[in-house]
A = this chain, B = another copy of it.
């Protein structure tokens, strides 16, 4: 679908998509830390597709299960019980990735 959107001649959308990728590149913070930050932000804003993406990236970047759970716990405390359904789906997806 991203390819479909790139076919459009809308520069703002294209540039936003590029900028989105650059945001998570190694900088003063490691890719791992940045992906955890992206995950926490996605959790409290309750965006399942975004959560899934960042859980995948956290897995790739070697985040441990205890670390992941601490990202979840911060998101839960900040965002409240409405975060729970997303937390469940995030852990379900994480388990799937762990099983490989």
Residues of A bordering B, CB below 8 Å: 1-2, 4-5, 8-13, 15-17, 19-20, 22-24, 27-29, 33-34, 36-38, 40-50, 64-67, 69-85, 87-88, 91-92, 95
- Chain B residue numbers with a CB within 8 Å of A24 are 74
With A42-B78, A46-B47, A80-B83 as known contacts, state yes or no: A72 contacts B36, CB within 8 Å: no
- For A85, give the chain B residue with the smallest CB separation: B49
Q: List 28 A-B contacts (CB under 8 A).
A: A4-B91, A5-B87, A9-B66, A10-B69, A11-B22, A13-B69, A15-B15, A16-B19, A20-B77, A24-B74, A27-B70, A28-B64, A28-B67, A28-B70, A29-B71, A37-B71, A41-B78, A44-B44, A44-B45, A44-B80, A45-B45, A45-B79, A46-B47, A47-B85, A78-B80, A79-B80, A80-B80, A80-B81
Of the candidates A10, A50, A92, the one having the most CB atoms from chain B within 10 angstroms of its own CB is A10
